[in-house]
Amino acid sequence: MDRIIFDLEATCWEKGTPGVTQEIIEIAAVRLNALGEVRGSFHSMVKPVVHPVLSPYCRRLTHIQQEEVDQARRFPEVISRFEDWLYVSPDFFLISWGHVDKRLLADDCRAHRVDDDWLDFHVNLKQIYRDLFRLPKQIGLAAAMRREGLEFEGEAHRAMPDTQNLVKLFLKHRDQWPLEG
């Protein structure tokens, strides 16, 4: 069974901005087989439609430029390509660091009337990591990498570097995760 390790970036604002709808603006994923071998990757920017102009905060945090999302495809087209990539192998489950990525995918699928049955096979590695190592609370990916003596490479808050770093953490404990498949 393939493991699809993924990360998203989404529109964002300073804390305390009420009533704003986040939209996915970047998605990245790496496919690992059961042996932990990389079998492919996926990356795409996504054009937001509800709030098409990125906030200054979002541009600072993610280093995603307005031009990148302006030139991107909209969510239904990107997610269709992502699903095609997912189903190269019919047996897979999704892995992300936290529950937010799954929620954002579900929200965008619902907003664009796109099927999201493939999200049923999702694992929150952040919670599993906390449970596995009996931590008092969940920690961020960068903190987990430091705790494990792994170097965080690339730019944080960008989907592909975050995904690649999560792959490193996943592979370090590949045989310890209590995962099905």
- pLDDT of 180 reads 62
Indicate if the pLDDT at residue 90 is higher than 90: no
Question: What percent of the chain shows pLDDT beyond 90?
Answer: 90
Mean pLDDT of 46-58: 95
Mean pLDDT of 76-89: 96
Non-local (6+) Cβ contacts of 136 within 8 A are none
| pTM of the predicted model as reported, rounded to 2 decimal places | 0.94
Q: How confident is the prediction for the chain on average, in pLDDT?
A: 94
> 63: which 2 tokens?
């280093």
Could you tell me how far CA 120 lies from the centroid of its own chain? 15
- pLDDT of 20 reads 82
| Domains by residue range for the chain, with CATH | 2-172 (3.30.420.10)
